Amino acid sequence: DNHTNSVALYNIRLFSTYEFDSDQVFRPDHIIMTQIMNRLAKFATNSRYLSLLKTNEICICDFSIQNTNGAIALGHNFSKEVSRILFLNGLQKKFSFKIGVVFDKNHSKTFLELSKTAKEMSIFAEDNNIQSTVILFDKFLNYRQLSQNTIVDNIKNVITKDEIAYKYTSIIDGRK
């Protein structure tokens, strides 16, 4: 019996890599998102559903995944298909994408909670320059601390490469 109470939710989010002088945001056009949806449709089953959430987001909900390794492996399959569509359209330099994954073993969270967390994971991965395109949410990880560590590492890299000027000023204790 393959019946399981677990669910895996994927948020595939495209990000523009265009540089703009203003606050303008470039969104993937409907044709590209339709091509990606059509490509991912081959993964649809009676226990796996796809939907286009926004102009730059696709949600996939899977009720047949048994464990986190399976959830990650399927995420990488989705990643290959999205990469292929971007490449075939010459858009691999204009868009990046991240796939936020939430695996809920006991199906204890609502769809809204799962989709919000998956979306936050894809945005977190993009904002923090995480190399992998597939990012699994881990409730035991402190993402705020991870984000702070990334900022500190970025500052160290900038200083090490002499990309900024810095001066050391000693602090004088006025009580002595």
Tens digit of each residue's pLDDT (9 = 90 or more) over 4-16: 689 999 999 998 8
Q: What is the pLDDT of residue 8?
A: 94
What ranges make up the beta strands (E) of 67-149?
95-104, 134-136
**Listed residue (152, 153, 154, 123) closest to 137, CA to CA:** 123
Amino acid identity at 162: D
d(CA 92, CA 140): 33
Residue 168 has pLDDT above 80, yes or no: no
Q: Which residue has the higher pLDDT, 75 or 166?
A: 75
Distances in whole angstroms, Cα of residue 143 to Cα of each of 16, 100, 138, 147: 23, 13, 9, 6
pTM exceeding the 0.85 threshold for the entire prediction: no
The pLDDT of 64-72, averaged and rounded, is 92
Q: Is 89 helix (H, G, I), strand (E, B) or coil?
A: coil
Residue 1 has pLDDT above 50, yes or no: no
C-alpha dihedral sign at 102, 105, 109, 112? positive
Percent of the chain scoring above 70 in pLDDT: 70
CB 82 within 8 A of CB 41: no
Residue 2 has pLDDT above 50, yes or no: no
Q: Is 175 exposed, middle or buried (0-12, 13-18, 19+ CB in 10 A)?
A: exposed
pLDDT band at 86 (very low <50, low <70, confident <90, very high): very high
